[in-house]
Structure 1
Amino acid sequence: MDSKKPKALIVGAGIAGLAAAWWLRKAGWDAAVVERSPAVRDGGYMMSLSGPGLETIKRMGLFDKVSEVAHRLRENIMHDQRGHEMLRLQYEDFHGGTEGTAICRGDLARVLREALPDDAVRYGETVTEITADDGEDKVHATLSSGEKLTVDLLIGADGIRSSIRDRFWKGEDCLEQLGYSYAAYDIAFAKKLQADCVSFNCPGYLATVYSLGEDQKAALHIWRNPQAGPQDRENKMEAVHKIGANGPALVTEVVAPFETASSLVIDDLTMVTLKRWSKGRVLLLGDSAHCLTLISGQGACMAVASAEILASELMKTNNDVAKALANHEKRLRPVIQSLQAHTRKIAPVYIPAGALKYHLRNLFLRAMPYSWIVSWYKKSATGEIDLTQALKD
């Protein structure tokens, strides 16, 4: 690390951590990332980059790189539990004429990693000891390699199971279970789809299959799970097989080989709700601070936008860390709270709990004019607020 620059240690080389490293370096900081995994993690679900997240990517000069690995999704055909078509949703209408791009989470992380110097990320490395006493202007950390670092800011960007949050926010009940589990993975699947994206919705269950190319597909399953919480991976795999076996033929075909997918991610839909995202010189960023879940569709956008806001506030305050962290939270918190509140509302609509609610929802979708449905989906994606305007300085 450069002894003349303020220093930050970032734990976690996901989207939030890599974006934070890029923006802090641009702000004149020496930022190093440590990551437990041996490389950028593959897989993850398909997501949309739009609004403030996409604008941040452009200001980083990465839009062309993102476009190279992005997927153009034109249409989503939604089916009921019998495989009958319910709705065709055009993504161009969904975005309302605004710019947006679809990208796999792992691909976005890879683009961000390649935008950093080779020595910016230390893979296969963890933090074993941290000392961050109240009132001190430094954080002392020991890495698993034995190296000791003294930094001006420690950032926990290590996801929803954050070890940094467990250390400094110990005892705070911040994990809000939405009552759903999910599985996302890529598979080699040659069968041609009806459209770029096809969805099958049953009571308590949603399956979506995306086309990533001629013989490559990505799948996402979300199902109601009242026992959501710590469970072993095998139980969730069994649940996906059980639900898939009772679904449409395409879902059964896709589920059959999913256990062999190297990109498999399987977990619960859990939001993180904390009263504060920073304590002294320790800051949580991205999912570790305020996980939105994939229901909101804004997690990655908020992660990269949050990193830019942090760097902006550090520059404006001449690296007054306490003031910058307070300003960062003041600007971002209203947006996050709105998105989380909206997530609680729309999850039961996307995946109705029982047969009655499921059939009423389907009748509603079939009876509504298409323009009303588009308007509802657009509001669902933004939490009924203008995210770009809300995050402006």
Structure 2
Amino acid sequence: MAERPKALIVGAGIAGLAAAWWLDKAGWSSVIIEKAPGIRDGGYIVSLSGPCRDTVERMDLGPRLSEVSYKFDENVLSDVHGRRLLRLRYKDVHGGVDSLALCRGDLARALLDALPTSVDIRFDETLEDAVLRDDKVTATLKSGTVIEADLLIGADGIRSFTRDRFWKEADCLEHLGYMYGVYDVEGNTELGSDCVSFNSPGHLDVLYRLRNDRLAALHIWRDDGVKLHDRQGKPRVIRDATAGRNITLIKDVLDRAEKTGYTPLIDSLTMVDLQSWSQGRVVLLGDAAHCLTLMSGQGAGMALVSAEILGKELMRTSDVAEALASHERKLRPVIERLQDRSRRMAAMYIPKSTFSYYLRNLLLKIMPYSWIVSWHVNSTKSEIELMQS
């Protein structure tokens, strides 16, 4: 029996884990390295619909993911004074589209448990250097191990070491001008709805219920880049960002989180825009290649779709360069459309200026609910149609 071609995958997030699964179907073996000591649990809610939903069904993950999915009824958006601006019912917004709402950590855990025996996963390990040749990639790891692979996959997130090693596009990061912080806390806080949001000029705070008497919080605030160095899990950053907005519920949740010594995930809303996602036998997947930001709601889903496309292209041909080119040709139009949507969604949900904020609020008050729903439904359906084309 011929030896399987080998892929070295940097990063055990959604993109890396899904890629290893699909590469196994293509007859490849994979080594995944991950700098963290294990799979990151928790995380904000991601939505899988359309082709993303179809991908997890083809991976036989549908039943497991359905068990851990959330059934949110509505999101109530209020202004900084607590006055309701909009009540969005999820069944209306999704327009009948079959979707799964999942914690990112639950999705990652399901992917990890589904990995076949052809995958070797190593935690507490990083890529130190890699040399690209015509037919191989020679990689040196932090442990001193040297791996010779037929393909190097950078699935190591928006601040990808793999991308920095092989790509020289210094301006590939597009900051949308916002920071975000996400965490969860214990407690039975009464929200009055499955999900509540508070909006003020340049700010959005979202709270939603999780299982086991836990509450998740997401804060997004205007930041044009001067504080990006503060992103390393510093709770004070979120406290400062929410200061000045007299929202008792937000204050109470932050107080409770700080008492437990929480460490929030803090980062910028930044997209990645590259001219090409592959070079020779190196390819970037997921956020490393085309971060959509959480505004799109499709980052995890598109990582799954991308992994499936790559795996099927490697099934179709043994020519790695051809497979990588075809993968990008099929996926890029969808990604560009979703990145445009991220820009529009940020401007709509978190207006930066006071004038834009009050104008948006006025429009929400006078605009028929059916128009707002139609905008969301048509956006979702157009994305699905594009992905299926």
Q: Under a length normalisation based on structure 1, what TM-score does the superposition of the two structures give?
A: 0.93
Deviation at 1:232, TM superposition (A): 2.3
Q: Give the AA of the match of 2:179.
A: S
Structure 1 runs of 4+ off > 6 angstroms?
none
> Is 1:182 aligned with 2:180?
yes
Deviation at 1:137, TM superposition (A): 0.9
- Report the RMSD for the aligned CA atoms in angstroms: 1.9
CA offsets 1:219-244 (integer angstroms, 9 cap, x no match):
10000112256312479643421343
Deviation at 1:171, TM superposition (A): 4.5
Deviation at 1:339, TM superposition (A): 1.0
- Cα separation, partners in 2 of 1:235 and 1:132, compared to 1, 3 Å: closer
Separation (CA, whole Å) in 2 of partners of 1:346 and 1:164: 29
1:212 corresponds in structure 2 to 210
Deviation at 1:379, TM superposition (A): 4.3
CA offsets 1:130-188 (integer angstroms, 9 cap, x no match):
1103xx11111122222221111000000001000000013431000000000011111
**Which secondary structure state, in structure 1, belongs to the residue aligned with residue 143 of structure 2?**
coil
Deviation at 1:214, TM superposition (A): 5.6
Query: Structure 2 matches for 1:27-46, cutoff 5 A?
Result: 27-46=26-45
Q: Give the AA of the match of 1:391.
A: M
Separation (CA, whole Å) in 2 of partners of 1:98 and 1:261: 40
Separation (CA, whole Å) in 1 of partners of 2:34 and 2:241: 35
Separation (CA, whole Å) in 2 of partners of 1:109 and 1:186: 17
> Is 1:169 aligned with 2:167?
yes
Q: Give the AA of the match of 2:304.
A: V
Q: Give the AA of the match of 2:28.
A: W
Contact between 2:172 and 2:272, CA under 8 Å: does it hold in 1? Answer: yes
Query: Structure 2 matches for 1:95-110, cutoff 5 A?
Result: 95-110=94-109
Separation (CA, whole Å) in 2 of partners of 1:54 and 1:160: 24
Q: 151, 156, 159: which is aligned to 1:158?
A: 156
Contact between 2:334 and 2:383, CA under 8 Å: does it hold in 1? Answer: no
Separation (CA, whole Å) in 2 of partners of 1:377 and 1:243: 29
1:391 corresponds in structure 2 to 387
2:250 corresponds in structure 1 to 251
2:287 corresponds in structure 1 to 287
Separation (CA, whole Å) in 1 of partners of 2:196 and 2:240: 20
Deviation at 1:189, TM superposition (A): 2.1
- Cα separation, partners in 2 of 1:236 and 1:368, compared to 1, 3 Å: farther
Unaligned runs of 5+ in 2: none
Contact between 2:233 and 2:264, CA under 8 Å: does it hold in 1? Answer: no
CA offsets 1:95-130 (integer angstroms, 9 cap, x no match):
100111211111111111111147631111112221
State the identity as a percent: 54
- Cα separation, partners in 2 of 1:234 and 1:275, compared to 1, 3 Å: closer
Contact between 2:11 and 2:157, CA under 8 Å: does it hold in 1? Answer: yes
Contact between 1:33 and 1:121, CA under 8 Å: does it hold in 2? Answer: yes
82-91 vs 118-127, greater mean Cα deviation: 118-127
2:68 corresponds in structure 1 to 69
1:132 corresponds in structure 2 to 132
Contact between 2:201 and 2:354, CA under 8 Å: does it hold in 1? Answer: yes
244-253 vs 20-29, greater mean Cα deviation: 244-253
Query: Structure 2 matches for 1:240-389, cutoff 5 A?
Result: 240-245=238-243, 246-259=245-258, 260=260, 264-317=264-317, 319-380=318-379, 382=380, 385-387=382-384, 389=385
Q: 214, 218, 222: which is aligned to 1:224?
A: 222
Separation (CA, whole Å) in 1 of partners of 2:212 and 2:151: 46
117-126 vs 369-378, greater mean Cα deviation: 117-126
206-215 vs 195-204, greater mean Cα deviation: 206-215
Separation (CA, whole Å) in 1 of partners of 2:148 and 2:237: 46
Separation (CA, whole Å) in 2 of partners of 1:274 and 1:177: 14
Deviation at 1:190, TM superposition (A): 1.6
244-253 vs 360-369, greater mean Cα deviation: 244-253
- Cα separation, partners in 2 of 1:222 and 1:236, compared to 1, 3 Å: farther
2:49 corresponds in structure 1 to 50
Separation (CA, whole Å) in 2 of partners of 1:61 and 1:263: 34
Contact between 1:42 and 1:263, CA under 8 Å: does it hold in 2? Answer: no
Q: Under a length normalisation based on structure 2, what TM-score does the superposition of the two structures give?
A: 0.94
Separation (CA, whole Å) in 1 of partners of 2:167 and 2:13: 21
CA offsets 1:6-60 (integer angstroms, 9 cap, x no match):
1101000000000000000111110111001010012221121111111101110
